[in-house]
């Protein structure tokens, strides 16, 4: 009886974690470049009350008798599937089609963060930065557009060009992207940033459209890959699972109460 109560408690904890992940997914449904999370469960341990026996010449084999003792959290995965591209018409809004991540850092710093959020801006010096003032990493960093330029454009291969004040076409540099052996191993660092981890492997940095890296689409932003219909369905499943585990605990408690009352 006590075993069933503790199994119910383990289920409550796991479904609460599942609801936490679902809540974070839904909260970021409109966050550019957000990658949703997914909870995976596994059984905790099984107590063997009788072991398995092999067949003999006169009698067949017998399976083991085991009682499960609950569940535990196996992993919280980050799903790095691509989100839909939303057109904005803004040249500095960049969406990645395919594999890869933008690299941003402070000027001269080797501490690089990775992101799929491509909402970039020009600061007062004409440097390409994101909303936190981090510089977009290119073959030259920072990528600079002179403030007196007439226009600028960004190609699918990451080449940043501009027309100077004399009407001549100039190249500011090429945006560099990074690809990882295991994108699921990246660590979420907040503010739409990912960080390299031992599980992700070392980044393979270089030009877009090379070595499996995707293309850059100017005038588009990648939306979150959260599917609300899927999240609401998972929410219902988690809610019912939570309720079922509370019922296990209350039912076990009722039976224990009956046992205690046997002495009356």
**Residue 104 is assigned to a structural domain of this protein:** yes
**Residue 54 is assigned to a structural domain of this protein:** no
**Residue 58 is assigned to a structural domain of this protein:** no
Are 217 and 89 members of one domain? yes
**Residue 56 is assigned to a structural domain of this protein:** no
The one-digit pLDDT tens for each residue of the chain (264 residues) are: 678 888 889 999 999 999 999 999 999 999 999 999 999 999 888 888 888 889 888 889 999 888 888 899 999 999 999 899 999 989 999 999 999 999 999 876 788 999 999 999 999 999 999 999 999 999 887 899 999 899 999 999 999 999 988 889 999 999 999 999 999 999 999 899 999 999 999 999 999 999 999 999 999 999 999 999 999 999 999 999 999 999 988 988 888 888 888 876
What are the CA-CA distances from residue 231 to residues 48, 93, 203, 227, 235 (Å)? 37, 28, 31, 6, 6
Are 90 and 217 members of one domain? yes
Are 190 and 143 members of one domain? yes
Domain that holds residue 34: 2-49+64-80+226-263
**Residue 201 is assigned to a structural domain of this protein:** yes
Dig out the tokens for 164 from the structure. 């100077």
Are 102 and 168 members of one domain? yes
């Amino acid at each position: 009886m006590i075993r069933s109560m503790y199994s119910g408690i383990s289920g409550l904890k796991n479904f609460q974690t599942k609801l936490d992940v679902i809540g974070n997914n839904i909260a970021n449904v409109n966050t550019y470049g957000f990658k949703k999370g997914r909870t995976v469960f596994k059984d905790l341990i099984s107590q063997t009350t009788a072991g398995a026996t092999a067949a003999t010449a006169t009698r067949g084999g017998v399976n083991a008798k085991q009682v499960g003792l609950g569940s535990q959290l196996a992993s919280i995965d980050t799903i790095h599937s691509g989100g839909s591209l939303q057109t904005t018409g803004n040249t500095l809004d960049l969406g990645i089609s395919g594999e890869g991540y933008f690299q941003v850092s402070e000027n001269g710093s080797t501490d690089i963060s990775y992101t799929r959020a491509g909402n970039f801006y020009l600061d007062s010096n004409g440097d390409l930065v994101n909303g936190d003032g981090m510089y977009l990493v290119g073959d030259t960093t920072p990528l600079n557009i002179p403030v007196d330029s007439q226009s600028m454009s960004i190609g699918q291969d990451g080449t940043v060009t501009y027309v100077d004040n004399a009407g001549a076409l100039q190249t500011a540099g090429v945006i560099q992207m990074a690809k990882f052996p295991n994108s699921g191993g990246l660590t979420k660092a907040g503010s739409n940033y990912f960080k390299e981890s031992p599980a992700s492997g070392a980044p393979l940095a270089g030009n877009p459209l090379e070595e499996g890296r995707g293309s850059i689409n100017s005038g588009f932003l990648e939306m979150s890959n959260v599917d609300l219909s899927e999240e609401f369905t998972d929410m219902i499943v988690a809610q019912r699972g939570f309720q079922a585990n509370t019922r296990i605990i209350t039912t076990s408690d009722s039976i224990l109460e009956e046992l205690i009352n046997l002495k009356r």
